[in-house]
């Protein structure tokens, strides 16, 4: 599956991203970073590395009219589960080594090495917004900070904007801008940080057609 399609899927983008993409729009130029930008990036990286566990609901809205809800669980480093509410049949499970994209209707699993996905930016132990990443913009408001980034090795593959509350610093959600310019905004609802998360949520071997591969 091409990276442009995975970018939308793996960060809770359009669930119909299996459709072949059109010609990508022109990539943004990397931002000229000020000292304030560099200081904010360092603070955001420190915050991301401090995250251990998370349990939350999410809302997903796309600029093409798509809407979905679901639940997510995170246990850093390496583990995450995104489960969409019906009728969306998609389940995503990162188990520390690979990412499973599972279609419950088709009972069809697709495995991708976790380090090859955009999720790795947040899930790896040394989470980074600078290592192999192009920063293409900052947006500052009195209460929030948003940093827009892309894979430095795939400038036409899409962009990701992470949104944070400033005080206290907290991840609010993210927006995926795919190669065709479709923006998919995901907002965390009632997040619970640092709570115990059952490791069985990141197992998949009981799913049909997954077996020991999960």
Residues spanned by the domain of 156: 3-13+25-189
Residue with tokens 């600029």: 63
Q: pLDDT tens for residues 58-74? A: 999 888 788 899 999 99
* Strand order across the 159-165 sheet: 108-113, 98-103, 90-95, 79-84, 67-75, 53-62, 183-193, 170-177, 159-165, 144-151, 133-140
Structure tokens at 86: 């019906």
Residue 76 located in a structural domain: yes
**What's the sign of the alpha-carbon dihedral 145, 151, 152, 158?**
negative
Looking at the 3D structure of the chain, how many domains does it have?
1
Residue 209 located in a structural domain: no
pLDDT of residue 22: 38
What's the residue count for the chain?
214
pLDDT of residue 210: 86
Residues of the chain with pLDDT under 50: 1-25, 212-214
Residue 31 located in a structural domain: yes
Residue 214 located in a structural domain: no
Residue 92 located in a structural domain: yes
Residue 85 located in a structural domain: yes
Q: Of 66, 81, 73, which Cα lies nearest the Cα of 10? A: 81
What is this structure's pTM?
Answer: 0.80
pLDDT of residue 15: 37
d(CA 90, CA 110): 11
pLDDT of residue 159: 80
pLDDT of residue 176: 81
Residue 131 located in a structural domain: yes
CATH number at residue 40: 2.50.20.10
pLDDT of residue 113: 87
């Amino acid at each position: 599956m091409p990276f442009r399609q995975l970018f939308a899927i793996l960060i809770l983008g359009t669930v119909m991203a299996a459709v072949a993409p059109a010609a990508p729009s022109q990539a943004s130029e990397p931002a000229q970073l000020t000292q304030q930008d560099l200081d904010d990036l360092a603070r955001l990286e420190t915050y991301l590395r401090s995250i251990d566990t998370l349990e939350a609901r999410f809302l997903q809205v796309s600029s093409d009219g798509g809407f979905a809800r679901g639940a997510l669980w995170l246990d850093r480093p390496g583990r995450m589960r995104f489960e969409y509410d019906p009728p969306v049949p998609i389940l995503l499970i990162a188990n520390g080594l690979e990412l499973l994209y599972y279609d419950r209707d088709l009972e069809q699993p697709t495995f991708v090495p976790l380090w090859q996905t955009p999720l790795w930016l947040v899930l790896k132990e040394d989470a980074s917004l600078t290592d192999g990443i192009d920063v293409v913009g900052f947006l500052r408001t009195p209460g929030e900070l948003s940093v827009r980034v892309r894979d430095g090795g795939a400038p036409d593959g899409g962009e990701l904007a992470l949104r944070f509350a400033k005080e206290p610093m907290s991840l609010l959600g993210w927006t995926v801008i795919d190669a065709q310019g479709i923006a998919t905004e995901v907002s965390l609802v009632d997040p619970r940080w640092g709570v115990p998360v059952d490791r069985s949520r990141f197992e998949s071997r009981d799913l049909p057609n997954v077996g020991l591969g999960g």
